[in-house]
Chain A
């Protein structure tokens, strides 16, 4: 097998009011199932290495984590190299349950926006209230970034991590950099 190659090979731009960097490759598994069923939760927790987040939240620890995607869907985060093992594990644990676990690591791109203006960069592109009183902690938001679907969360107060589809990685990188262009501070948060 070759070395896995992300969509933008880890591109980064530090010229603006926030630094925009492509992360990854990151292991990602879509798990669909009854999130109130104990075996599903147990299998998810084992795969993500964290406790089950509440609706609208995520839990992350190192490369692992779980994001709440919808009432019957979780996104499990893990080391890229361990995805197939984790999927096999999920399959065996959930063999007797109605659930679906698929690898989506390669279908996604992950970006990080860092700096004191990271919130503003997102607020220029997503119809989301980025005020620290409104978006904080482990909140995980699925929305759009400019014209494409995306999801993001804030590992800390100055950092936003964004997941989008791989095919629009260049677009998302470009609009993030446009929103982070030099001299574009709004100064509200």
Chain B
């Protein structure tokens, strides 16, 4: 069972206080988007073996959403950060690159 840090209230607690909500940094496509764009936004989720960015909610705590960067293989956690951002912050990227020299960040959607 994972141990998760909530950057909003500062609490580090076991997974039972939290709820995972899937991939982070999705770009919403609404009316006017093409079928491909909409399909990709709604259904196409990354499922990497390795570094992944996820949305979590501190459900039995402060109730806030935040993002976690972690390795889906080893469950290593690189860090938690604000949900109010379109791309992972540089310090998180740096931490991942330090731990996973082979990993490179894809060009994230604006």
> What are the residues of chain B within 8 A of A73 when measuring CB–CB?
62
Pick from A5-13, A58-66, A84-92, A141-149 the stretch touching chain B.
A141-149
Cβ contacts under 8 Å, A70 to chain B: 8-9, 62-64
Contact A144 B9 (CB under 8 A): no
Q: What count of chain A residues pass the 8 Å CB interface test?
A: 13
Of A56, A144, A149, which contacts B11 at CB under 8 A? Answer: A56
Asked whether, in the complex, the Cβ of A143 is within 8 Å of the Cβ of B60, the reply is yes
| In the complex, B61 has a CB within 8 A of chain A | yes
Which one of B13-21, B44-52, B68-76 is at the A interface?
B13-21
**A69-B62 CB under 8 A given contacts A56-B11, A127-B16, A141-B11:** yes
Size bin of chain B's contact surface: 10 to 19
Beta-carbon contact of B62 and A142 below 8 Å: yes
| Cα–Cα distance between A55 and B62 once the two chains are bound (Å) | 11
A125-157 with Cβ < 8 A to chain B: 127-128, 141-144, 149
**Given the known A-B contacts A55-B10, A56-B9, A127-B14, are A142 and B64 also in contact in the complex, defined by CB atoms under 8 Å?**
no
Most B CB atoms within 10 A — which of A55, A70, A141? A70
Give A144 to B60 CA distance when docked, in angstroms: 6
Taking the complex as formed, is A4 at the interface, i.e. its CB lies under 8 A from any CB of chain B? no
**B9, A55: Cβ atoms closer than 8 Å:** yes
Q: Which residues of A contact B (CB under 8 A)?
A: 55-56, 69-71, 73, 127-128, 141-144, 149
List chain B positions with a Cβ less than 8 A from chain A: 8-11, 13-14, 16-17, 59-64
